Amino acid sequence: MLRYIFFRLLQTVVVIVALSFFCYLLLNLMPGDPVEILIQSNPKMTPEDIQRLRELYGLDRSIWEKYSAWIGDILKGDLGYSRTYRVPVSEILLPRLGNTFILSLSALLLSLFIAIPLGILAALRVNTKVDYLIGLFSFGGISTPSFWLGLMLIIIFGVQLKWFPASGTYSIENPDNWLGRIPYLVLPTLTLSYLSVGRFIRFTRSSMLEALKNDYIRTAIAKGLPRTKVIWKHAFRNALLSLITMVTLSFSGVFSGATITETVFAYQGVGKLVYDSILGNDFNVAMVSFMISVSMVLLFSLIADLLYSLADPRIRLH
Amino acid sequence: MRKILLTFLGATLVFSMGAAVASSQKSELRIGISQEFENLNPLIMSMSATTYIYSMVGRALVTLDANGKWIPMLAKSIPSIENGGAKLSADKKKLTVVWELREDAKWNDGTPLTCEDLAFTHEVALHPNVAIGEREIYRNIDKIEWDKKNPKRCTFVYNKPRWDFNQMGSFRPLPKHLESPIFLKTKNEVGGYEKNTLYVKNPTQKGLYNGPYQITEVVLGSHVTLEPNPHFTGKAPSIQKITIKLIPNTATLEANLRSNTIDMISPLGLSFDQAIMFSKKAQTEGLPYVTLFRPSLVYEHIDLNLDNPILKEKNVRKALIYAINREELVKALFEGKQTVAIHNIAPLDPWFTDDPKKITLYPYNKKLAERLLDEAGWSLGKDKYRYKNGQKLSLTFMTTAGNKTREMVQTMLQEQWKAVGIEVTIKNEPARVLFGDTTKKRQFTGMVMYAWVSVPENSPRSTLSCDAIPSEKNGWSGQNYPGYCNPEVDKIVEQLDREFDAQKRIQLAHKLLKYYTEDAFVIPLYYRADVAVIPKRLKGYDLTGHMYSETNFVENWRLE
């Protein structure tokens, strides 16, 4: 097992390095550079200013030179400097990663809390009104655009009822009050949850339906086991295997951010930051965020594999 | 479970209502912006939103007021050759300018602001390891001298004098007593100063600001809070707290205003069409807000690529302008709140002229457009499009994809050109691509629509001179995207840069405008307007319409 984990971690590092170069290459293929943005907003910039800045930022160097310098800094623990915000990347990125983690985790937990019971209920009441109703609810979640849902929630709960703030991450008057953050989390969490709840319901329902078709379920019912035991111990445990993949991979996204929801609610998350940094050619911010996202996906794939063996003793990892 | 949920909901409501009560103080103003801001180092900052915020806490030597007139800020008065504050040598090769700083100008820790701060700023700006955007105003100054007995009287020495020596709206000093040790320690590392400046490491440090307000909190990507600077000896600001809040989605700015999360929307907030819609709603619903519109120096236009054989013909270019009804366009799309542009200089600029004797005007005239096309040999075919030697009169028309206003303009113009037999194909690209490669490398084959942000009396060198045509040879620098080259124009641009007489400069600018309008290599569309939504109880607020924003006069704002 330990050997397996070691080799998987080694594999992860290789994949991260290879992907980092590929992404760096893609970012560099994009037209324009950060200096272009300065020209657009300042009519007094001269061609000499433009040339000087390109040299200073190293934008005139080859892709290999730029990548080597960047990876060298990363290995030394220097995440670089954000050319958009003019501060070290760690100062802008780390607080936002924390905010995104809180929002994404709340949304994920809430959606699982709603989706798993509803998915099981839909499977147990297959082709009944309950199943159709749950189906309608889940398809609503899958097909509702996040910006529309976010705006509706703001209009109802922020503008009309004034129950929750329309935007923000925390109270500006009292930023250190962690409980005071809750009202700011409610609407974006509801938006994000509703978007994923439908997917989780459909997945749980189909996994449960698959599990309920098995002979051992019929045997368990025939030998008179209580219904709850049949559902949770025999059916759900087997449905869990496919759910593990989906849930663990969803957890890998808790640091990636939700660009649209964060933008609509002016929530200081990493999604909007990454989007802006890609558009603004702020390579350092974009690359570090990308590396975190890739690492999370690879790490949670490993966790999923480990959880398989826990959920199903027949699976052994070598 | 039900109990837990109810308790959670109850607690959440209590917290959110508490937040609403706390933020509704009368002497507080919360401003919504939709554009990002960076660190507030006045030398390093380059974003419009940062300049907007910085102008409340820091001042330049001079600024432009809402009437387009230069006024002193940190300086006592504006030196000029006429008032004897500046002296040009007989051979016009050396210029000395005396800037007298206000006696009461201080940093917000009480330290006097002196010539030492100006000289230090000059030194940092010119250091090769410091990445500042616009460096020309510093590069032109050879040295800054002062007498130690009078550290408020600074002499600027120029060896290559320029007429705009006193337009120091971007000269915003750094506090030497705080920033000098950091600069000395980090200057040998590329970007070392930017990473370690106090504006990054401790932006609320006393002594960094010299304006009517000081910073109490900065959270990049979220908000900045300000309170009055106790050491500011100018007019004392009446608003006790200002919060500038970033709400990146312009569609939710209105919802934030209505939910009392913000009190006003700055010019860096709503798009023009959103402002028009909100203005109507505010009137109908009797909302306590006023929507302000102010014509600005932003010039929306269409560049024509002169490398295109069709567009090489002046008659075709003129026909393109005569064929479009710009008056109707601004009425239909902007309710007349943005005005038709006749050339690249806006009415707010002293160089502006609409005198038909000095420039060529192009009022809508479909028949004249058709005649010009006929004369150029483009005759109507059976399909109602024009042809010449079997070639169809067809052009591509590009702009930034996703910009609703520009896309509406494109559709209207396309129809009007079709009416005279010109086929126009719309091919839009994301702003990043359009400004990244397409305009920069002149890859647009026909027409491209975008805007120039300008300042009054701005040298047109980078957009009109032959050297400014981007090419591989000059490293794609310059913004003469149409590819217009006229030695006469180059000569006038040279003269303009060296002419110290304001009246003579106006005459030269008019000569340039004659070429600009007569040669018709750009189609002027409209001058954009700045828009802001303010509460009715906010008084003393005036939009400026140019890059020196209204926040330079924040001490005049008051809430009634």
The encoded tokens of residue B274 equal 């959103």
Residues A86-122 have pLDDT tens digits of: 888 888 888 888 898 899 999 999 999 999 999 999 9
Residue window 189-248, chain B: list those with CB within 8 Å of chain A: 190-191, 194-195, 200, 217, 219-223, 225, 243, 245-248
With residue B216 as reference, give the H or E element that holds it.
Answer: strand B213-219
CB contact under 8 A, B432 and A43: no
CA distance A167 to B259: 10
Residues A55 and A98 in one domain: no
The residue in chain B having the minimum alpha-carbon distance to the alpha carbon of residue A182 is B12
CB contact under 8 A, B12 and A182: yes
Question: Residue A284: helix, strand or coil by DSSP?
Answer: helix
Residue B426, φ and ψ in degrees, nearest 5? -85, 130
- Could you say which DSSP state residue A52 is in? H
Residues A184-216 have pLDDT tens digits of: 999 999 999 998 899 899 989 999 998 888 888
- Which of A51, A75, A99 is where one domain is finished? A75
- Which of A23, A44, A75 is where one domain is finished? A75
Residue A318 in domain? no
Residues A307 and A186 in one domain: yes
Cβ within 8 Å of residue B458, ≥6 positions away? A43, A44, B349
Residue B351 in domain? yes
- Which of B154, B182, B210 is where one domain is finished? B182
Residue window 354-393, chain B: list those with CB within 8 Å of chain A: none
Q: Which residues does residue B339 pair with via DSSP β-bridges, in sequence order?
A: B527
Q: What is the pLDDT of residue B63?
A: 95
Q: What is the pLDDT of residue B25?
A: 47
Q: Are residues A284 and A86 in contact, defined by beta-carbon separation less than 8 angstroms?
A: no
Cβ within 8 Å of residue B360, ≥6 positions away? B514, B517, B518, B520
The domain of A296 spans 90-311
Q: Are residues B256 and B20 in contact, defined by beta-carbon separation less than 8 angstroms?
A: no
Q: Which of B319, B416, B305 is nearest to B376 (CA)?
A: B319
Whole-angstrom Cα Rg for chain B: 26
Diameter of chain B measured on Cα atoms = 90
Environment class of B361 (CB within 10 Å of its CB; exposed 0-12, middle 13-18, buried 19+): exposed
CA distance B294 to B271: 13
Chain A, chain B: beta-carbon pairs less than 8 Å apart? 198
Q: Does B249 touch chain A (CB under 8 A)?
A: yes
Q: Are residues B11 and A179 in contact, defined by beta-carbon separation less than 8 angstroms?
A: yes
- Which of B158, B182, B206 is where one domain is finished? B182
Q: What is the pLDDT of residue B80?
A: 93
The encoded tokens of residue A278 equal 């890609």
Residues A263-273 have pLDDT tens digits of: 889 888 888 88
Q: Are residues B115 and B154 in contact, defined by beta-carbon separation less than 8 angstroms?
A: yes
Q: What is the pLDDT of residue B3?
A: 54
Q: What is the pLDDT of residue B23?
A: 44
Residue A281 has pLDDT above 50, yes or no: yes
Residue A28 in domain? yes
Residue A34 in domain? yes
Residue window 270-329, chain B: list those with CB within 8 Å of chain A: none
The domain of B130 spans 59-182
Residue A131 in domain? yes
- Say how far residue A143 (Cα) sits from the centre of its chain: 19
Residue A89, φ and ψ in degrees, nearest 5? -55, -40
Q: Does B126 touch chain A (CB under 8 A)?
A: no
Q: What is the pLDDT of residue A40?
A: 64
Kind of pairing, strands B339-340 and B522-535? Answer: antiparallel
- Which of A50, A75, A100 is where one domain is finished? A75
Q: Are residues A212 and A235 in contact, defined by beta-carbon separation less than 8 angstroms?
A: yes
CB contact under 8 A, B16 and A273: no
Residues A127 and A259 in one domain: yes
Residues B338 and B462 in one domain: yes
CA distance B536 to B517: 42
Residue B387 in domain? yes
Residues A174 and A203 in one domain: yes
Low-confidence ranges of chain B (pLDDT < 70): 1-26
Q: What is the pLDDT of residue A12?
A: 82
Residue B553 in domain? no
Q: Are residues B538 and B357 in contact, defined by beta-carbon separation less than 8 angstroms?
A: no
| C-beta atoms surrounding B485 within 10 Å | 16
Q: What is the pLDDT of residue B19?
A: 44
Q: Which of B171, B67, B175, B38 is nearest to B114 (CA)?
A: B175
CB contact under 8 A, A183 and B16: yes
Residue B423, φ and ψ in degrees, nearest 5? -85, 125
Q: Are residues A62 and A25 in contact, defined by beta-carbon separation less than 8 angstroms?
A: no
Residues A114 and A41 in one domain: no
Residue B486 in domain? yes
Domain count, chain A: 2
CB contact under 8 A, B458 and A43: yes
Residue A44 in domain? yes
Residue A317 in domain? no
Q: Does B10 touch chain A (CB under 8 A)?
A: no
The encoded tokens of residue A53 equal 């800045």
CA dihedral B5, B8, B12, B13 (to 10 degrees): 60
Q: What is the pLDDT of residue A317?
A: 57
Residue B149 in domain? yes
Cβ within 8 Å of residue B198, ≥6 positions away? B178, B179, B182, B205, B208
The residue in chain A having the minimum alpha-carbon distance to the alpha carbon of residue B17 is A163
Residues A143 and A240 in one domain: yes
Average pLDDT, chain A: 85
CATH at residue B365:
3.10.105.10
- Say how far residue A300 (Cα) sits from the centre of its chain: 12
Q: Does A98 touch chain B (CB under 8 A)?
A: no
| C-beta atoms surrounding B455 within 10 Å | 21
The shortest CB-CB distance from A182 to any of B15, B36, B128 is to B15
The residue in chain A having the minimum alpha-carbon distance to the alpha carbon of residue B190 is A56
Residues A202 and A230 in one domain: yes
Q: Does B400 touch chain A (CB under 8 A)?
A: no
Q: Are residues A42 and B45 in contact, defined by beta-carbon separation less than 8 angstroms?
A: no
Q: What is the pLDDT of residue B1?
A: 45
Q: Are residues B144 and B119 in contact, defined by beta-carbon separation less than 8 angstroms?
A: yes
Q: Which residues of B touch A174 (CB under 8 A)?
A: 19, 22
Half-sphere exposure in the Cβ direction for B282 (13 Å, CA): 21
Kind of pairing, strands B394-398 and B86-88? Answer: unpaired
Residues A65 and A127 in one domain: no
Q: Which residues of A touch B218 (CB under 8 A)?
A: none
Q: How far apart are the first and last CA of chain B?
A: 49
B92 Rama sector, left if φ>0, alpha if ψ -120 to 50, beta otherwise: left
Residues A162-172 have pLDDT tens digits of: 899 988 888 87
CA distance B152 to B172: 15
Q: What is the pLDDT of residue A299?
A: 83
Residue B399 in domain? yes
The encoded tokens of residue B399 equal 């702009």
Residue A82 in domain? no
Q: What is the pLDDT of residue B498?
A: 83
Residue A39 banded pLDDT, cuts 50, 70, 90:
low
Entry pTM: 0.83
CA distance A83 to A285: 9
Of the residues A93, A106, A167, A178, the best mutation for testing chain B's interface (the one with the most B CB atoms within 10 Å of its CB) is: A167
Residue B288 in domain? no
Q: What mean pLDDT is predicted for residues A118-143?
A: 92
Residue A237 has pLDDT above 90, yes or no: no
Q: Which residues of B touch A31 (CB under 8 A)?
A: 432-433, 436-438
Q: Does A207 touch chain B (CB under 8 A)?
A: no
CA distance B303 to B520: 10
Residues A57 and A109 in one domain: no
* Chain A nearest C-alpha distance from B131 (Å): 6
Residue A316 in domain? no
Q: How far apart are the first and last CA of chain A?
A: 6
CA distance B316 to A53: 40
Top pLDDT among A43 and B140 is at B140
- Could you say which DSSP state residue A223 is in? T
Residue window 137-166, chain A: list those with CB within 8 Å of chain B: 147, 150-151, 154-155, 158-159, 162-166
Domain count, chain B: 2
